[in-house]
Structure 1
Amino acid sequence: MTTREWAGDAETRQVTEVASERELRELIGEPNDRAANKIRSRLHDLDRQWLARSPFCYLATADAEGRCDVSPKGDPAGFTLVLDDATLAIPDRPGNKRLDGFRNILANPQVGLNYVLPGRSDTLRINGRGRILRDAPFFDDMVVKGNRPRLALLVEIDEVFYHCSKAFLRSQLWQPESWQPDAVPSRARIAKGIEAPDIPLEQLEAHYGAGYADRLYG
């Protein structure tokens, strides 16, 4: 246990920090046998069914110094190709060209994936090693609306397991009555306030408006 002063923007606060796994276990305890032993190294048929129906996942990467990035990936359900029981492929689609995750993978191939099924509060987690491909025969199976990916992420699986529902249930994520999309400014107004202050709001609203979805694969 370590007590130290933390200087926040508003004031300096005293915090007590956990400094070892032993201290973590003293606070939280040990997992039960089912949780401790649920990790597998190969896909089960049930995992394949989940991947065939999932349209969305988060991809976690880290660079050589351990600085992390998490990027959302989405496409029609089944966008992740299962090449065999230990290998996946995920197409890359047009984006902002920052390539944060890909640049991380070039330095550190370890990746984490969390697959979401809309309406379900459990998720499928996959950890493994990533490789960036610029072509492969299966790229032809990744064409969506005429877009054949220029790159794909190949993941060699190390760990597969399901994550419980608690976080989704606590957040009420799938309960429409809890949704408040207008509680914060629109994407156009966020861009105006942070990223593009010199661009007229009307232009940003047009960019992020109804036609935005038509340019997803352009």
Structure 2
Amino acid sequence: MTHPDSHQHAYPSDIAFTPTVKALQSRNGSRDAYARMEEEHGWQTRLTPDVAGFIEQQTSVFLATVSSEGQPYIQHRGGPAGFLRVLDDHTIAFADFAGNRQYITAGNLAENPKAHLFLMDYAHRRRIKIWGEARVVDDDPALLAKLMPEGYKARGERVIVMTVRAWDVNCPKHIPQRFEAADVAAALQERDERIQQLEAQVAELKREAAVRGD
């Protein structure tokens, strides 16, 4: 697998900002701003600890691949937090659980290794886009066992390993704020317990007032 730093791009963002994209940016007035971004603080190719933590917190992500004919395909991947594992600062891997057995993603990667991960944190209105190349590993049971979430009721069939070439964090504009059902339930339980405590305190104060004859 080619290391991301070895790919011949003037800037990491060139993986997405093709000449045609840059021409459209120029036509629509945004090229100067993105040119400054490229020069001053462009996209990164290595996963920072903050981004690695964000990746491993996700329970739902989207993986995009492309067939040899150029047909894109986006597949949802889900699991408990930590099912996405950052193996080092340019490698992400996860167990591929048994599903509907269409094998579109695996087939696309056999023909074209280019892949994209789209991660969305609705609660904190944060999204990260990751470009790279991915490969399917069918013959490494030790790695598969290592990546299987403990206690999760799923059957791992293979491993998908992605080498990161570039990543970018988008602004929160237009991201609806949504929360996990489990987090909402926990917050409501905490609220109800606090209400019960306050009601008990009020009842005790009323009893004390009655004894004093207030």
Common topology (TM > 0.5): yes
SS in 2 for 1:167: coil
Alignment of 1:146-161 (within 5 A): 147-161=154-168
Count of aligned pairs between the two proteins: 154
Q: Return the letter of the residue paired with 1:141.
A: K
* Residue number among 90, 94, 101 corresponding to 1:97 in the alignment: 101
| Partner Cα separation in structure 1 for residue 109 and residue 47 of structure 2 | 22
**Alignment correspondent of 2:145:** 140
Pick closer, same or farther for the CA change 1:146–1:70 going to 2, 3 Å.
closer
Return the alpha-carbon distance in structure 2 between the equivalents of residues 175 and 76 of structure 1: 15
Give 1:159 deviation, angstroms.
0.8
For residues 9-48 of structure 1, the aligned pairs below 5 Å read: 21=21, 22-30=23-31, 31-32=33-34, 33-34=36-37, 37-48=41-52
- 1:95 is matched by which residue type in structure 2? G
Instruction: Give the alignment of 1:50-65 within 5 angstroms.
Output: 50-65=54-69
Question: Using a 3 Å threshold, how does the CA distance of structure 1 residues 132 and 151 change in structure 2: closer, same or farther?
Answer: same
Amino acid at match of 1:119: A
Root mean square deviation, CA, Å:
2.3
CA distance change for structure 1 residues 138 and 120 in 2, over 3 Å: closer, same or farther? same
Q: Which residue of structure 1 aligns with residue 169 of structure 2?
A: 162
Work out whether 1:75 is the aligned partner of 2:79: yes
Using the alignment, how far apart are the partners of 2:78 and 2:179 within structure 1?
21
User: By how many angstroms is 1:155 displaced?
Assistant: 0.5
Larger relative CO (CA 8 A, sep 6+): 1 or 2?
Answer: 2
User: Is the CA contact (8 Å cut-off) linking 1:135 and 1:150 kept in structure 2?
Assistant: no
What is the TM-score of this pair, normalised by structure 1?
0.63
CA contact (8 A) 2:98 2:155 kept: no
Give distance in 2, aligned partners of 1:175 and 1:48: 21
Larger-Rg structure = 2
Secondary structure at 1:91 match in 2: strand
Report SS of the residue matched to 1:26.
helix
SS for the counterpart of 1:150 is strand
Q: Which amino acid aligns with 1:70?
A: I
- Residue 175 to residue 55, structure 1, CA distance change in 2 (3 Å): closer
Aligned residue in 2 for 1:204: none
- Residue 120 of structure 1 deviates from its aligned partner by 2.1
Unaligned runs of 5+ in 2: 1-19, 181-214
User: Given residue 27 of structure 1, which amino acid in structure 2 is its aligned partner?
Assistant: N
